[in-house]
């Protein structure tokens, strides 16, 4: 696929994605779908179990480099799927994909392992349901889009704000109804102490546990000594495996805002920050950062800090996206939305996250489930399966190209923060304008023997 053809196809598909919001309640075919999951950790299991609640699915295989996590997930899945069978287990995703007996491959690994397994599954003829963000760098992300288009795969990324019931209502009844008027600015941020949950322990280096294949876990990322922060779930503290809080939390809120306002690429991105407060922690990601995404007519601003007291007293808006319009303010979070018209200065409409314990009582007791997000996960799966049934006619609401834009903009924010200057990204050439030093950061070096995906050679 040459660059011109790739860009032409991408433009056409992206335009169609804007209409991808239909969520069916049943599926006409009712054919059992074979699903595999690479990375059955926290969010992998949460997402998979929601799929089992809403569609005829047979989980045929699981893969993880942590044998203890893998076996625990297999036992749980067997109790939740209709067949009662335990999935086949793998420690190497390549062997799992080589079986070619899966319709949908889920990729729920740490961020540095998103692109290669997802592209490999697409090349094997599988549709993909992937955790956000789309890899760790812009070129990885671009290659995932190219593979999806080349192999005609339906790829949904789990940026499930686009399927969150109360936010779908806010888009329909506030934004699309024109109640905001002209957009003046957007504010986004998170005040949770995301980075510091484990890193203050300054855990010493040690040998990896016997149940973890640390060489395979590290994969294309730089090899560094193991410690108890890294696995499980602490890897987000290390820039080597991710893009920090910007690549984790900002990508959700910025994607939500892009969806609500139907935004494409920003004109310019700038960011600044660093490790300013918690200097003794082992973390390599910023504890303080601001990013600006400049769109025509307004700027969307992101702020996070992993220290101190939150400036927001309302617990529902510690992680938020607020849209300021000429007629009012729309405050959005995973927990609720508030609509505040300027005419009254008061909250005139509010809606909280949809809980469906009456329909899905298992949600109340499931370990580690974010209960307020469960309904969004189910709707996201329904939307995705509808898109699969109508391949070529409709895209999923969080199609890979939409996720590519939101993810890559966050990667670019980190490049700006690293270099100390703004970047202007050209979505046609997929290059940063007039900045070759910045362009060299669009793809991270891969550790041998792994090879970085090339968008023109997938």
Which helix (H) or strand (E) element contains residue 2? Answer: none
* pLDDT at residue 8 in the model: 47
* pLDDT at residue 4 in the model: 44
* pLDDT at residue 15 in the model: 41
Query: Which domains does the chain show, CATH number per domain?
Result: 3-161+361-399 (3.40.50.720), 165-358+408-439 (3.30.360.10)
CA angle 284, 286, 292 (to 5 degrees): 145
Q: At residue 197, does pLDDT exceed 60?
A: no
Give 281's pLDDT tier (boundaries 50, 70, 90). confident
* pLDDT at residue 121 in the model: 98
Q: At residue 7, does pLDDT exceed 90?
A: no
CA angle 368, 58, 161 (to 5 degrees): 45
Average pLDDT, the chain: 93
* pLDDT at residue 203 in the model: 84
* pLDDT at residue 5 in the model: 47
Contact 409, 245 (CB under 8 A): no
Kindly write down the DSSP assignment for every residue of 3-71, as one continuous string: HHHHHHHHHHHHHHHTT-----SS-SS-PPEEEEEE--SHHHHHHHHHHHHHS-EEEEEEE-SBHHHHH
* pLDDT at residue 280 in the model: 85
């Amino acid at each position: 696929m040459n660059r011109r053809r790739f860009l032409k196809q991408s433009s056409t598909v992206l335009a169609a994605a804007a209409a991808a919001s239909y969520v069916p309640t049943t599926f006409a075919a009712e054919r059992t779908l074979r699903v595999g999951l690479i990375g059955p950790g926290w969010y992998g299991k949460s997402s998979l179990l929601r799929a089992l609640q809403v569609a005829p699915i047979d989980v045929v295989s699981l893969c993880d480099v942590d044998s203890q996590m893998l076996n625990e997930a297999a036992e749980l899945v067997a109790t939740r799927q209709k067949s009662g069978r335990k999935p086949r287990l793998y420690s190497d995703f390549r062997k799992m994909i080589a079986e070619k007996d899966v319709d949908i491959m889920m990729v729920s690994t740490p961020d540095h392992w998103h692109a290669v397994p997802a592209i490999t599954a697409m090349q094997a003829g599988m549709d993909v349901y992937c955790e956000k963000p789309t890899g760790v760098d812009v070129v990885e992300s671009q290659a995932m889009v190219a593979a999806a288009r080349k192999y005609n795969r339906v790829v949904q990324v789990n940026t499930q704000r686009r399927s969150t019931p109360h936010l779908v209502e806010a888009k329909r009844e506030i934004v699309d109804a024109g109640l905001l008027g002209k957009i003046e600015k957007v504010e986004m941020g998170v005040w949770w102490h995301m980075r510091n949950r484990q890193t203050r322990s300054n855990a010493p280096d040690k040998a990896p546990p016997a149940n973890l294949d640390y060489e395979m876990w590290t994969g294309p990322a730089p090899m560094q000594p193991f410690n108890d922060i890294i696995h499980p779930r602490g890897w987000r503290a290390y820039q080597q495996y991710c893009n920090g809080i910007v690549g984790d939390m900002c990508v959700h809120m910025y994607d939500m805002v892009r969806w609500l306002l139907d935004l494409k690429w920003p004109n310019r991105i700038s960011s600044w920050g660093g490790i300013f407060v918690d200097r003794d922690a082992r973390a390599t990601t910023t504890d303080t950062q601001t990013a600006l995404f400049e769109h025509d007519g307004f700027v969307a601003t992101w702020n996070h800090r992993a220290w101190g007291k939150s400036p927001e007293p309302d617990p529902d808006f510690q992680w938020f996206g607020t849209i300021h319009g000429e007629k009012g303010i729309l405050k959005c979070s995973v927990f609720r939305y508030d609509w505040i018209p300027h005419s009254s200065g008061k909250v005139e409409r509010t809606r909280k996250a949809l809980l469906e314990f009456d329909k899905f009582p298992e949600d109340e007791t499931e370990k580690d489930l974010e209960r307020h997000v469960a309904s969004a996960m189910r709707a996201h799966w329904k939307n995705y399966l509808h898109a699969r049934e109508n391949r070529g006619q409709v895209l999923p609401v969080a199609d890979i190209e939409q996720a590519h834009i939101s993810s890559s903009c966050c990667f670019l924010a980190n490049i700006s923060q690293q270099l100390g200057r703004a970047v202007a990204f050209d979505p046609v050439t997929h290059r940063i304008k007039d900045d070759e030093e910045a362009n060299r950061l669009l793809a991270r070096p891969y550790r041998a023997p792994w090879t970085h995906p090339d968008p023109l050679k997938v």
